[in-house]
Chains A and B, each alone.
Chain A
Amino acid sequence: MKKLLILLLFVSCTQTIYEDTPITEIPESLFIQEPKGLKLESYIVEDKVRINTKLPQDGNYRIKIIDFTNTIVNQEIIKGKEGDNLLNIYVNSLPISSYTVELYTINNEFIGKQSFSMK
């Protein structure tokens, strides 16, 4: 009985531990309804543009920037987490033109794409 009381006392004094899961606030302009995909915040870009890469699972993914002639002019490998990932496309090093951003798995399986034009 004494043991039980001690145990109960310990349990009642133990602090409840909640796992601290960071919550990413997704602005409406970057909200993606589908389970995976890519969305740009703006289609006319100056300096940089925010993007949302919504990923099916944790892992490495490719973001490719492709010009009018279908040539890859930039490719980044990101380490992403399942769900929404807010990132940026920086455009100041690119010649002024219109580009397509494409999202792939690390093994080049297509996920989504969007186009933008530079101001």
Chain B
Amino acid sequence: MPELILLLIALVSLAFSAESAVFFCIVAVAVAIYRRQTLRNDFEKFQSNLTEQADALRREIHWTRDKLEKVTAQVAELRASAEQGAAVSTESPRVEPAAVPVATPQTQVPQAPPPSPKPVETPKIAPLAPEAKPVAPPTVAPPRPPMEKPGEIPVAARTVTPPVVPSTPPTQQPRPATPAASVQAPPPPSFRSQKPQPTFTERLRKALDLEETLGTNWLNKLGVVILVLGVALFGMYELSELGPHGKVLLLAALGAAMLGAGIYLDRGDRYRIIGRTAIGGGWALLFFTSYGAHHVDAMHVIQSEPTDLMLMLGVAIAMALHTLRYRSQVVTGLAFLLAYSTITLTQDTVYALTAGAALAVGIVIIAVRMQWYELEVFGILSSYLNHMYWLYKLLGMQGANHHPFPEFTASTAILAFYWLVYRFSYIVRKIETPLQENISAVAALLNTLLLLVVMKFQSVHPELAFFALLVLGALELGFGQAALARRRRTAFTLLSILGASLMIMAVPFRYSGENRAILWMIGAEAFIAAGIILRENVFRRIGNVTALLVALHIVVLEVVPLFRQRAVTSGPLTHSGTLLLTAGILFYLNAHPLRLRWPELYSEWVDQQMLMAQSYFGAFTLALGLWAIVSWEWTALAWAVLMVALAFANLRYKTVDIYQQALLLAVSVTVRTFWVNLPSALAGTNHEHMPRVLIVSLISAAMYFSAWPLGKAQGERWPRNLLTWFATALLAYLIATDVQHRWVCVAWLGLGVALLASARRCRLDHLCYQEHFLALFATISAWAKLDVVVSGSLMQRIAPSLLVAAGLYAVSRKASLWTDRRGQWVAYLHTWAATSLVAFAAYVEFQAIVLPVVWMGFALVLAWIARRFLVKELAAQAHVISALAVIQTVTVVFHSEARVQGLSERLLVTCGVMAALYVMSRLVPMNEEQRKLELHHVYTWVASTLGAVLLWYELQPLSVAVGWALLGLLLFEVGTLRNVRQLRFQGYVALFSSFGRIFVVNLAAGGQPGDWLSPRMLTVVPVALILFFVYSQIAFGEDSDSSIGRFNVTAMLAYAGSITVVSILYFQVSSPWIAAAWAVLVPILLGTSIVLEKEVFLQQAILLSVAIFSRGMIHNLFDGSYFTDAGWKGRFAELGTAIVVMLISLPLAYRLKRHFTRNEKGNAILRFVSKLISRPEQVIFFVPIVLLTFMLALKMRAGMVTVAWGMEGVAVFLLALALNERSFRLTGLALLMLCVGKIMVIDAWRLAPRDRYLTFIVLGLALLGVSFLYTRYRETIRQYL
């Protein structure tokens, strides 16, 4: 409500003064915020109380339920015993149930548990007797002793059975089955501590609450505001006929009516809110009426402004007094607000402000008595702002601006009065809650702050500001002592700080333009000394805070001018430097010696933090001071000295602050040295060379020197390591800038060696790490120099790099403190770096074409050393160098077309590399396991591959296959002679490569037709010969290379040789004769198999027979021209030759019948192949016979086909008889039967008469002959069945 009233006032005042409207708006917002906070606190309290009450209720319900269960159980027991007693006794049972529904009021039972806030309902206990009537409590019989009569209900049971439901109609339940069934046990209570989530109902309820709040609270207030506003406006502008007096009276009456109604309504609880709203509105209307009586033209009835002012004040005071009845701080505050607004509106003279003084006194009295300290805050704000508003109206926006004005003295007096009144209030008040203390502190601060603001606004004599502040500060300090006397520790602290602050603030007003930091520092030290002497930490803290402010002052205000000065002069800035050094020393004194001397005074966290800050500021100011006094490159040295001092001071004080400052200084020194000292030579300044070397060396020495105490003080290794890293980095950089360019790498390595010696002496591993980095940089530098240095002699070009390499090799075994695996890795890296340097030097110095030979030579040397001195990593390096040589060979040498003395450079270099690789395979050290795995033969493989590729490059495409075959033969022979199987394997690979290549190049290289010495024959036949030769060497040699893993090399070679020959025939012979040419190979293969006793050739013969069958069927029989018969050759000679040759081979096949062991294992296909191999005569017989049969069918004249088949059948039958082969015989018979069938189906109907007869005759004869033969040799045949 008050904020709405304030808004209303703001609206009204908007018509007259925008400033006052803004003022009221601001106040309204402030009030609204305050009220919101208050309401929130109240709500939280209320919520907490509700939670507690709910918990209590829940406990009581639980307790009640427990008791109820017990009682119900007792009732059931009693009922059971009563029924038993009734059955036994003769007494009528009607008496018994009458007592059951009896309810006893809680007040009548002294044994009852603590009373519940509400009576507890019994959950659905049915009456035991249907005929029982409800019994009213007054008619209840008094309790009887429990043992008075058997079967009677005990008193306890009756006392806790609440009769909320007095009765149940008797007709509903005549008699329950069992009493227990009628009792429903309540669910166990939950005592979960966490806050339950709001349910939907609760959320709905909350929404309803909000709605209710709006309806019951806000709407009426809004209505009142609107009513008042409307009435006011109505009164001012509409009721002109009433005149000013009438309007004033009307408004006053209306305000009084509202006030009266409000008072009336406030008596009851229901309408209290409305009532108080009406009270506020009534007073507001009355106050407005009093205001308008003078200030509103339409209501102008009072001519004198003071009179009207008094009236307004009277209304305000009356309102305040009235509102005190309600003990509502807000309502009273509203009254005072109206009073202040009156002053604001009417303050034409300074005397009007005296009313404000009176109000201030009133507020203070009320606030102290009622402990409404929030009201006092409002009063302070109103008093000073009101005064400020008055000054603003009097002096304008700029204020007095040092121009005297008549009201100055009076205004100052009023302000002083305000300050004194509110300060007095602050001292004398009683504080009961922390909230009150906090509000009071705000009021105290506001009091002084607003005083200073207003005083500044009306300042006429600025020269007196120093004294004013000093006096005010002293007064605050004095009031602080008074507060201490009243045991107001917070007030004492606040006022002491305030006083000290004012005194510190006073300094610039008197000593503007001079060095205020010293004065402040003196003040700070004085406070600290006082705090130590008086054991008062407030003073010490004030001193320390002042010191920190001084530090901030230095940082903010002193540093920038210092830098500006440094920008224009390179000389020492003694004044600033001295100040900074002094401040730094004082900071350090405060931070460390005092704390060391009186540790109990600085035991609190806040003090320690302030001392820590001072310590860091001390370091900063000291470093800054040194920078100001000691210029340019000497600064870093000075800082280094300070760093050493701090490092050793840390040994005494053992604080992490000094320790960290020393580290920060170390970083600063390093950065400064890198930034200023080291680049000076490069920048071409006039600084001397030696001083730089000297300074940087001294700085590095200081860092090495500081590393020890810093590492020792905190027990951590990393600061020590960091400093040594910095020192080493500085020295390394110094070397880079001051040592001759090409020798930098050597110098770096020298420094590394020195560090290594120190590391081994002092057992400091991080120095070893630094050596590693230096070695890395030296290596990179040496690499870079090799790449860019092209002038000078050979030694000048590569000597530094070789020196570095030698050094790396030399220190590799001493480059670490460890003997474990890490040490080995360090050694490896050193030798790797050295080897890389040497290899790169060779890369730079030698021509690309000869580089592989040089590298291979180097690799051989490494391998020899590795083998001789057992240096493992050198072997690996030899591998890598060899790999590089091979890569260079492949990428560069192979593409070279240059010749030396008529010989190809490619040939010479590659042969050299190959030779070295073969030597390497024997020289390179490997352990037994690697040797067993034959890893060293990687070299021979690579060498052989290079040889093969070399042949590819050097020979014509047609000759490459022969070259590879020769290489394979050579490798095989050497491998055989030296018993090196890997060489033989390489030979096999070369041979198979040659075999594959003939399909790409050689077989397609046909010469002129009929040219049997064509390029094809010339180059493919030698390959086949070599393949067969190597096959024979394996097949009949002593070496067991027949199988390599899953590969049967022997068979593969034999197949490769045979396929080569078959391929030659395919491409060399004309298409129709290919089958015949292949057929010629069949007896050869069979004969070879017989002679050499090798199954592989038999396999090939069978496969070739299958190929002949396919080729004959598809190409010779079905692929002929559609329209030409190709003559007798095309019809019979081409395929007939193949048939005849194969049939001639049949005896050879018979010799191989069941010659080789049959393999019964494997899958069906393998078993079938094995079967074929065991019976080759079947294949050799059936392939030509089937071909012949089809040839006769397709190539013979239609009328002669049957005859031909008949003759074929007879011949086959005879052959079968001769060979005693049942399958052949059956074939002959089948052919004959085929003829019969053909005659019956085709020939008898389609042939020409002549052919038909001829066919019949011949076939008849054939059949007869066969029949005869069959009959004759029947017994013999049976033997072979």
Are A and B subunits of one complex? no
